[in-house]
Amino acid sequence: MSKTKPIVGITMGDAAGIGPEIIVKALSHSTVYEECRPLVIGDAKIIEKAVRITGASVKVNVVSEPAQAQFSHGTVDIIDLDLLPEDTAFGEVAAVVGDAAYQYLAKAVSLAQAHEINSICTAPLNKEALHKGGHLYPGHTEILATLTDTEDYSMMLTTPNLRVIHLTTHVGLIKAIESITPERTYKVVKLAHETLKNAGIETPRVAVCGINPHAGENGLFGYGEEEEKLLPGIQQAQKEGIHVEGPYPADTLFFRAGRGDFDIVVACYHDQGHAPIKVMGIEEGVNITVGLKGGIIRTSVDHGTAFDIAGKNIADEKSMIVAIQSASELAPIWEEEN
């Protein structure tokens, strides 16, 4: 495989949503092809319908493997799994569509594991459709963890001015705090460090949020969670030469990171990390799964399927473009295989 531009496998997501449209719109921009070699994994009939809806000046090129792709602006290369009919309805939850979204992702993982693509970028899926299709996962991240047999992984969110990685995500607040351990803190700090180092930041600056207001303020708030759950993990990472600080009060830490004091913030729970990201740039937000076995990087738009506007040619492709760019920037480059 070439060591120049990485091949980014773009999964179509839920075909009843805006995924096909934003993929076609994103691949209409020549700048995408300047940074990577995009390859769609989905249903060609649906992508062709999206081309008609958007009026994009592109042609669809069906291939059976990445080596057959043209990777040239004006052509949308796609591995066609041929799972859905052309008249698949927009804006409707359907089991067959949910299953198809899962199959696109599974195909992308197998290609990444075989080193035929360098990274994965996912269009949004619909959790209800996914479940109706027989795949009982909260979302992409958990599917990826299962398909790659990964236990220690994390969600990273990025905007142009802020990066956040999470200790916990889709669990209630009480359970989230209970599940934070020094080992989890250490592992996520290390994941943040390694991911940014692989992306070209020689000495990433990592900062960890406190759990309680004012990071506990020396026991004034909470029950010593910072000292019990966070500090030992931070200190372990520091002993290994990782540049990590904290725990710091979250109400000021995100401001400091946004102005450039740190390269990434470790958030303790879902809303602590998601809210600042969405305030600072929801249209350019990217969701990244890090820590997957085999070094696989997956990025995604930081929005949903938007069933209410699907098929109307009004969905904005900006987040998809940024997600593809992030998948390119963070992609491992596999060695040439004979």
Tokens standing for residue 1: 């495989």
Average pLDDT of span 296-315: 92
What pLDDT was estimated at residue 26? Answer: 97
Give per-residue pLDDT as tens, 196-223.
887 778 999 999 999 999 998 888 899 9
Starting at the earlier edge strand, list the strands of the sheet with 244-248.
Answer: 59-63, 75-80, 37-42, 7-11, 119-122, 298-301, 286-290, 154-159, 162-166, 264-267, 206-209, 244-248
Give per-residue pLDDT as tens, 138-160.
889 889 999 999 988 888 988 88
The DSSP-derived string for 158-216 is EETTEEEEES--SS-HHHHHHH--HHHHHHHHHHHHHHHHHTT-SS--EEEE-SSGGGG
The letter for the amino acid at 277 is I
Give per-residue pLDDT as tens, 52-76.
999 999 999 999 999 999 999 999 9
CA gyration radius for the chain? 20
Asked if residue 264 lies in contact with residue 196, where contact means CB atoms within 8 angstroms, the answer is yes
Share of the chain above pLDDT 70, in %: 97
Q: What is the largest CA-CA distance in the chain?
A: 63
For the chain, domains (ranges, CATH) are 1-150+292-338 (3.40.718.10), 152-289 (3.40.718.10)
At a CB cut-off of 8 Å and minimum separation 6, what does 206 contact? 189, 192, 193, 237, 242, 243, 244, 245, 262, 263, 264, 265, 266
Cα–Cα dist 312/309, whole Å = 6
Share of the chain above pLDDT 90, in %: 78
Give per-residue pLDDT as tens, 313-326.
999 999 899 999 99
Query: CB 224: neighbour CB atoms within 10 A?
Result: 12
Give per-residue pLDDT as tens, 90-137.
999 999 999 999 999 999 999 999 999 999 999 999 999 999 999 999
SS3 category, 77: strand
What pLDDT was estimated at residue 10? Answer: 98
pLDDT band per the 50, 70, 90 thresholds, residue 228: very high
Tokens standing for residue 278: 């969405």
Average pLDDT of span 223-243: 97
Ranges 7-11, 137-141, 298-302, most confident = 7-11
What is the rounded average pLDDT for all residues in the chain?
Answer: 93
Asked if residue 3 has pLDDT above 70, the reply is no
What pLDDT was estimated at residue 337? Answer: 46
pLDDT band per the 50, 70, 90 thresholds, residue 263: very high
Cα–Cα dist 277/285, whole Å = 7
β-partners of residue 322 are none
Cα–Cα dist 205/193, whole Å = 8
What pLDDT was estimated at residue 338? Answer: 37
β-partners of residue 155 are 289
What pLDDT was estimated at residue 1? Answer: 44
pTM listed for this prediction: 0.84
What pLDDT was estimated at residue 152? Answer: 83
Inter-residue long-range contacts of 168-175, CB under 8 Å, 24+ positions, other chains counted:
168/268, 168/269, 168/270, 169/141, 169/269, 169/270, 170/138, 170/139, 170/270, 171/270, 173/269
